[in-house]
Amino acid sequence: MKQLRPITPITILAAELGEIITDNAKELSSNPEILRRLKRCKDLAGGLDPYIERHTSAESDDLRRLNEATLSFDWDDRDEDTYVKGLEAEMLSGHVEGQFLKILVSITNAKRVLEIGVFSGYSALAMAEALPSDGELVACELDPRAADFAERHIGAAHLNCDVSVKIGKAIDTIAKLKDSAHPFDLVFIDADKPSYKDYVKTILDYGLIKIGGLFVVDNTLLQGEVYIEDGDMSTPAAGIHEFNEYLTNEPRVTQVLIPLRDGVTLAQRII
Ligand SMILES: C[S@@+](CC[C@H](N)C(=O)[O-])C[C@H]1O[C@@H](n2cnc3c(N)ncnc32)[C@H](O)[C@@H]1O
């Protein structure tokens, strides 16, 4: 199965420290105290995720199968313009974040959930597993190959609630939902980073999330790019940074940025 590259601040740090130790083995052999301390730093960083995984409830068989299928699937770019470029197995949120989402859906008693950015369907399935039988999850995905993959696996899962995958730009799907009589209880955002601000602002402007409803926004640390100062930010990091600044000054929500995986922001609509 595919070996995933590090994509969160803590796993990038662990990998970097590992490389420093390997690349400087000769010099470090004459400085055992520095080597010991570097190894301790590497273990502190590298041991965190495995420890969290071991102390998080196990995923369901349906989620485990979806995870395995995502890792085995060929996500390489297609030439046709209809496909999103750069899809990769690393995009999957996975066990711990899936369980986090599941608990959020459960403790907020959410019945209507909107997801923006489905990919292979892991986070959608995790949230759907926590919805009641009269619950509904509307999931937006631009890439038809990912949408098809997600629909097939979610369709085969043991779910009671209703899940619909809307193919197209999420902002267009949101616009179509504008006159919906029932606002969402929870909105999970995990798609194109430069659009994050538009997604939250539009959903608030349209009243598509209820007062007290929760935005859950993924990748708000963007591999640490938003806070380390070593030159120009990538386009996704600039989008996330703009979003974080916007949200901090958005009076309609109160929020907290949690350093879970690549950063997850919880923002509750208060007015
Ligand atoms: C990080 S992945 C989502 C991962 C998924 N939420 C999970 O936890 O497994 C981002 C997804 O957003 C999709 N996407 C990118 N731009 C989009 C847009 N404008 N509208 C809807 N989906 C978009 C991509 O095709 C990709 O599948």
Query: What string of DSSP letters covers the chain?
Result: -PPPPP-SHHHHHHHHHHHHHHHTHHHHHT-HHHHHHHHHHHHHHHTHHHHHHHTSPPPPHHHHHHHHHHHHS-----SSTTSPTT--GGG---HHHHHHHHHHHHHTT-SEEEEE--TTSHHHHHHHHHS-TT-EEEEEES-HHHHHHHHHHHHHS---SEEEEEES-HHHHHHHTTT-SS-EEEEEE-S-GGGHHHHHHHHHHTT-EEEEEEEEEE-TTGGGTTT--SSPPPHHHHHHHHHHHHHHT-TTEEEEEE-STT-EEEEEE--
- Give pLDDT, residue 230: 76
Ligand 1 mutation target, pool 173, 190, 198, most atoms within 8 A of CB: 190
- How far, in Å, is the centroid of ligand 1 from the Cα of 84? 9
What integer pLDDT is reported at residue 180 of this predicted model? 78
Q: Which residue has the tokens 């996975």?
A: 94
Q: What is the pTM of this model?
A: 0.96
Question: Which pLDDT band, with edges at 50, 70 and 90, does 1 fall under?
Answer: low
- pLDDT of 81 reads 83
Measure the CA dihedral 30/47/45/59, to 10°: 160
Residues 33 and 94 placed together within one structural domain of the fold: no
> Looking at the structure, do residues 38 and 136 belong to the same domain, yes or no?
no
Query: In this structure, which residue's CA is closest to atom 1 in ligand 1?
Result: 91
> pLDDT value at position 201?
98
Q: What is the pLDDT of residue 147?
A: 97
Q: Clarify whether residues 14 and 83 are in a common domain.
A: no
Q: Is the dihedral of CA 168, 64, 134, 151 positive or negative?
A: positive
Tens-digit pLDDT profile for residues 96-141:
999 999 999 999 999 999 999 999 999 999 999 999 999 999 999 9
Average confidence score pLDDT of the chain: 96
Looking at the predicted structure, is the pLDDT value of residue 262 above 70? yes
Q: How many angstroms separate the CA atoms of 169 and 9, rounded?
A: 29
Ligand 1 centroid to Cα of residue 169, in Å, is 10
Residue 152 sits in the same domain as residue 212: yes
Give the domain range for residue 171.
57-269
Average pLDDT of span 51-72: 97
CB 72 within 8 A of CB 128: no
Same domain, residue pair 148 and 21: no
Q: Which residues line ligand 1 (CB under 6 A)?
A: 84, 87, 91-93, 117-120, 122-123, 140-143, 146, 169-170, 190-192, 195
Residue position matching structure tokens 């402007």:
205
Whether 254 is covered by a domain: the verdict is yes
Looking at the structure, do residues 24 and 139 belong to the same domain, yes or no?
Answer: no
- Judge if 18 and 81 occupy the same domain: no
84 and 197 together in one domain: yes
Q: Are 134 and 77 part of one and the same domain?
A: yes
Please count the structural domains in the chain. 2
For residue 48, the tally of other CB atoms under 10 A from its CB is 15
pLDDT, mean of residues 36-57: 97
Whole-number percent of the chain with pLDDT over 70: 99
- Rounded mean pLDDT, 214-237: 93
